[in-house]
């Protein structure tokens, strides 16, 4: 976490104000519209990235659906993943995350501002409630992100098996499924290096309901994984 310390120190004059503002928004989340909360998060992330020698390269913004009510499915590399996508994505979205990260400082407040759901994978009833709630919200026009691998990869840019059950909310909502390929997103927080790092965020072409309506969720998972792996294979190691 050396880079986090560097991010803080290089923004030391701004940190106390923004930390208080973030905590206040997190505690009064219904007081502010989603766009305002999201823009605040983007500002904080961009300043943190600048202080931490992290550059975000974004590709495929045109693939993000123009109408709200879609779901992102990225590969999962580390604690920095959501922050990379917040920096890259102009459209507000929320997150379904595992309960284990619910108390990680900063992420806790960030997820509160995003009205994220914390899922307990050992509690089937609670997991079903989350799936149903996310389905309803996506139908209502909110956008969500789910890490279909379940846990972060321990092998850098290698993609793990994606779980079909992670796509249930999307299939029930009949919404666009947007694969997102993250490259080197593990480097900012999951390595000890403080050198400059470039993280690539690739928004890939969506799978629309007409394309996947006859597919099983396990088949959708394999197709999303295939598209992400193909992109990583093409661009990994490329500063473009």
Residue 54 has pLDDT above 90, yes or no: yes
DSSP state of 204: P
Other beta carbons within 10 angstroms of residue 196's beta carbon come to 10
Residue 240 has pLDDT above 50, yes or no: no
Comparing 7-21, 26-40, 98-112, 215-229, the range with the smallest average pLDDT is 98-112
The confidence band for 120, taking pLDDT boundaries of 50, 70 and 90, is: confident
Q: What is the mean pLDDT of residues 46-72?
A: 97
Q: What is the mean pLDDT of residues 114-139?
A: 92
Q: What is the mean pLDDT of residues 31-53?
A: 96
Q: Looking at residue 193, what is its pLDDT?
A: 85
Average pLDDT, the chain: 93
The confidence band for 105, taking pLDDT boundaries of 50, 70 and 90, is: confident
Torsion of CA 190, 193, 198, 199, to 10 degrees: 0
Q: What is the pLDDT of residues 70-84, one digit of tens each?
A: 999 999 998 899 999
Q: Looking at residue 238, what is its pLDDT?
A: 61
Q: What is the pLDDT of residues 209-225, one digit of tens each?
A: 999 999 999 999 999 99
Q: What percent of the chain has pLDDT over 90?
A: 80
What does the DSSP assignment read for 72-130? Answer: EEE---STTHHHHHHHH-SS--EEEEEGGGTTSTTHHHHHHHTTPEEE-TT-HHHHHHH
Dist CA 177 CA 125 (whole Å): 25
Q: What is the pLDDT of residues 158-190, one digit of tens each?
A: 999 999 999 999 999 999 999 999 999 999 998
Dist CA 191 CA 137 (whole Å): 36
Comparing 85-99, 109-123, 194-208, the range with the smallest average pLDDT is 109-123
Dist CA 185 CA 188 (whole Å): 7
């Amino acid at each position: 976490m050396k880079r986090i310390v560097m991010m803080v120190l290089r923004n030391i004059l701004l940190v106390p104000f923004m930390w208080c503002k973030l905590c206040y928004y997190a505690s009064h989340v219904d007081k502010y519209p989603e766009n305002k909360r999201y823009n605040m998060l983007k500002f904080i992330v961009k300043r943190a990235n600048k202080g931490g020698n992290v550059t975000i390269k974004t590709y495929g913004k045109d693939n993000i659906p123009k109408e709200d009510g879609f779901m992102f499915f990225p590969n999962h590399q580390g604690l920095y993943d959501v922050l990379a996508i917040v920096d890259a994505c102009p459209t507000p979205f929320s997150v379904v995350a595992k309960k284990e990260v619910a108390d990680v400082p900063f992420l806790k407040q960030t997820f509160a501002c995003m009205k994220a759901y914390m899922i307990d994978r050992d509690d089937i009833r609670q997991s079903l409630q989350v799936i149903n709630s996310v389905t309803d919200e996506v139908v209502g026009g909110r956008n969500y992100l789910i890490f279909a691998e379940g846990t972060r990869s321990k092998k850098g840019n290698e993609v793990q098996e994606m779980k079909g059950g992670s796509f249930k909310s999307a299939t029930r909502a009949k919404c666009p499924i947007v694969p997102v390929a993250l490259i080197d997103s593990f480097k900012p927080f999951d390595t000890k290096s403080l050198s400059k790092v470039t993280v690539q965020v690739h928004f890939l072409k969506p799978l629309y309901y007409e394309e996947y309506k006859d597919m099983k969720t396990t088949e959708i998972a394999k197709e999303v994984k295939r598209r992400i792996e193909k992109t990583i294979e093409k661009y990994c190691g490329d500063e473009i």
